[in-house]
Amino acid sequence: MSLPKFIVGMIFALTIVVGWSYVDGASLGTIIMRGVVCAVVIQVGYFLLVYAMIARSGPVPADRSREADRGIKVAEGEKLSARRGSLR
């Protein structure tokens, strides 16, 4: 989940909690407390979700990762130089 989607969802959830508290007739202190508790629970949940996603993904060797990012296929033992693919 991207950060902007998370922020919009969090604001939406907090708005619902604050609105429900207001309609319920809660005092201003209770409304603020419920909003803070809701925000903390959402933040902790988001942190745990991101942590689980990172922990679940396996480590990738640095060489394979760099080659995949560049899109370069290099044969075993071949050296890259600035002249590779030049017209000279």
pLDDT tens-digit profile of 75-86?
666 666 655 555
| CA-atom Rg of the chain in angstroms | 25
Q: pLDDT digit string (tens) for 6-60?
A: 889 989 999 999 999 999 999 999 999 999 999 999 999 989 988 998 888 766 6
Q: Can you give the pTM of this predicted structure?
A: 0.58
DSSP 3-state assignment of 11? helix
The C-alpha atoms of residue 43 and residue 50 are separated, in whole angstroms, by 11
pLDDT score of 22: 93
pLDDT of residue 20: 94
Alpha-carbon distances, residue 74 vs 61, 67, 69, 79, 83 (angstroms): 16, 8, 13, 8, 15
Q: Which of 25, 59, 20 is nearest to 38 (CA)?
A: 20
Between 61 and 48, the higher pLDDT residue? 48
